[in-house]
A and B are shown apart, each in its own frame.
Chain A
């Protein structure tokens, strides 16, 4: 059975999360390294206060997922594919050997910093359940104004789609879709309008920074955010890492591609189980598990048998 490792993005973090990683010396090592690179402490990274900033959230997500991946790597267990949702793509690329952990940590720090400083509280994201992409795109187009720009952003599943942009604009759309067929629609607790053209500049900056690095060809194929293709060379990974922030994440297609390639065992790196639940809702005959819930020992056992 083919397997894929999934790296979660923003929304999976929780206070004190780095204390809940598997107990393994290699994880301890990576945590220490992170503190050194960032010149901070674990407590400072995952405190409630710091997790209110995009930067710390992205750092914590990368540290949690990559350090856990290292345990698998040490055990000689390598998945057939990797994929990461939004900032999770940096974890996936690190797992695939494209980036060093240090470079990845610096990049997501920069990414988080730029994201949180580019727009004020008047911007954010929302999620709509139970309405299909076409209909939502049409509605969003009708509510769009230059003063209150809004965009359809991440396609997490055929029935779970996010919107990004001006909060006022988003509220208009939410109000409308609630009365026109959506099962649920609400604002997300973020103040960054991610994965839409409002972040075009960040995409350019990230590409500039990525171009300075000595990147390696992925040793595991990566399913991409932007166009849900399998990435096998450096330039494509680079482009996806940089530009994903200003394009929708086509997560459903990215996982569906892995499914069609034959992946039936999906393992989600910590923290949380957001991607696991999505996969179990969308695909009938996959086995999706999260390290956070199932534990690393059981996942290791499943993968090596």
Chain B
């Protein structure tokens, strides 16, 4: 190719460092405020007004658990005349000010994963045109876009401690901080971190100072919620029955060794049945050895009884710090001894490297599509769909994965196990099994491109209710799927379709299993089977290492 003179001149003239130049300008605009990389606590609003420009893409760390609460409270105080039209990118919209910045005219557009704690407000604000919705994502999907078409100009994140150079210790709740920082830091964006304290020496360096532009000491420690603590007192006999069915009819049957659990009480019941019911079946070492899971307090008895080989965590859990540090063989820990979590990697592991995902749902249609949306609310997805699907890129085989193979085609492959647990009715006599998902009306109301389905029927391999298990992976026929689901859907509208004859046929073909088919007597499903019946007993199992937050203490 021959360049004309003008073209060659243009190429010579063009700057290839516009992003870096702009960054330098912004950084130097706060020179009179900062001390090295440290922004004084009381001047953060002013600093944000200079470092953030109208129209910027801003990643604000609202994680599932950890919240950059000082920075979000500061952002809502900036002058909207100086900072406006921001495009926010947040994995979790959790705090009131995450949406207040839209009411104040500071931000305009949002791309996010999860908005459960603000699901009414965001639905209203989308309807009222106060928020322009980019899209709803799963976690890994949103992290991915940070490196493609949602590259942030500014990242506002939280860590435990920093040193004077800006090296960070993120502590047990690392979560997605490294991912958010990486996307901004290596694309000449500005990274601002709130820390609980500045120290001379860090326990360990989780994020190096060369990725960080500014550090500010927060007025109080970042907000952290104990989302994964389930008090065993609230586990019901029905959940115990379902847990027994899952252990026998799925984990044992397919040899499930690696897995993720949701945060529901029904999976907490499974965790607490391993050392009792699971032990009595002789399953120790054969199932549930390798986990991708937050440090659930309800897993303590299984760990103490020698069931668990390893646990990789998305985030930490309040009160579990000492326990985790004292069980170094089980958890991923740093040289300092404390937990290292990482939501991005845990999500990927949960997607590609485990045998099974199990979660609960509020609604399911006759083909196994499920959703947790409620009308008038926009809650988004979080991470369940990442783990709750069969990743087409998987190539390695495990016993459970291989066990899902249903054809002898020479190219046949296995499948990730995706299990949905539900009781046939939820609160207010609302049937879980329905003809049409509420997700469809939410799509229309909030003007979404696609209906917010949490787990698609094509990915679901098993459905478990208090009536029995449907082994959906065994059929490709949608009419047979419908029959299978109907036969375990109780007296819901879908359930009323089933007839005893077809149920018998499905049982004989092994397409569904009732508790008695699995050797489970309903009368045996009692709370006395739980390895710990309350938080206090979890503390005892942990030898006093688990220190539950006050709200979970009943003694």
Contacts and interface: CB of A to CB of B under 8 A. Distances in A.
Contacts of B96: 260-262
Contacts of B128: 229
Given A260-B96, A260-B117, A228 B124 contact: yes
Contact of A131 (B121, B375, B376, B428): B428
Contact of B427 (A159, A182, A227): A159
A253 B427 contact: no
B118 interface: yes
Contact of A130 (B124, B376, B428): B428
Nearest to A134: B375
A261 B121 contact: yes
A181 interface: yes
A132 B428 contact: yes
Given A134-B375, A228-B124, A229-B124, A260 B118 contact: yes
A295 interface: no
A235 to B, nearest CB: 15
A60 B121 CA distance: 34
Contact of B429 (A130, A257, A260): A130
Contacts of A257: 120-121, 124
Interface residues of A, number: 21
Interface string A209-236: 0000000000000000001110000000
Which of A132, A159, A227, A229: most chain B Cβ within 10 A?
A132
Contact of B430 (A132, A228, A260, A261): A132
Given A158-B427, A159-B428, A253 B376 contact: yes
Contacts of B121: 257, 260-261
Nearest to B441: A134
A256 interface: yes
Contacts, number: 40
B429 A131 contact: yes
A131 B428 CA distance: 5
A223 B117 CA distance: 18
A142 to B, nearest CB: 16
A131 B175 CA distance: 40
Which of B118, B124, B128, B428: most chain A Cβ within 10 A?
B428
A130 B119 CA distance: 23
B125 to A, nearest CB: 10
Interface residues of B, number: 16
Contacts of A260: 96, 117-121
A181 B427 CA distance: 11
Contacts of A131: 428-429
B431 to A, nearest CB: 9
Interface in A259-289: 260-262, 285
Chain B binding surface, main DSSP class: helix
Contact of A158 (B124, B428, B551): B428
Interface string A16-60: 000000000000000000000000000000000000000000000
A43 B128 CA distance: 47
Nearest to A2: B96
Given A261-B96, A262-B96, A256 B428 contact: no
A243 to B, nearest CB: 18
Contacts of B95: 262
Nearest to B434: A134
A134 B376 CA distance: 12
Interface string B374-401: 0110000000000000000000000000
B516 to A, nearest CB: 28
B116 to A, nearest CB: 10
Contacts of A262: 95-96
A273 to B, nearest CB: 23
Interface string B59-96: 00000000000000000000000000000000000011
A261 B427 CA distance: 25
A163 to B, nearest CB: 15
Interface string B101-120: 00000000000000001111
Interface string B418-449: 00000000011110000000000000000000
Contacts of B375: 133-134
Interface in A73-101: none
A257 B375 CA distance: 15
A133 B376 CA distance: 12
Interface string A129-152: 011111100000000000000000
A132 B376 CA distance: 14
Nearest to B119: A260
Contacts of A133: 375
A182 B429 contact: yes
Contact of A253 (B117, B120, B430): B120
Closest 6 A-B residue pairs measured CB to CB? A181-B429, A159-B428, A262-B96, A132-B428, A132-B430, A260-B121
20 contacts: A130-B428, A131-B428, A132-B428, A135-B429, A158-B427, A159-B427, A181-B429, A183-B429, A228-B120, A228-B124, A229-B124, A229-B128, A253-B120, A253-B376, A257-B120, A257-B121, A260-B96, A260-B118, A260-B120, A261-B96
Interface of A: 130-135, 158-159, 181-183, 227-229, 253, 256-257, 260-262, 285
Interface of B: 95-96, 117-121, 124, 128, 375-376, 427-430, 551
Given A134-B375, A229-B124, A260-B121, 13 more contacts: A130-B428, A130-B429, A131-B428, A132-B429, A135-B429, A135-B430, A159-B427, A181-B429, A227-B124, A229-B128, A257-B120, A257-B124, A262-B95
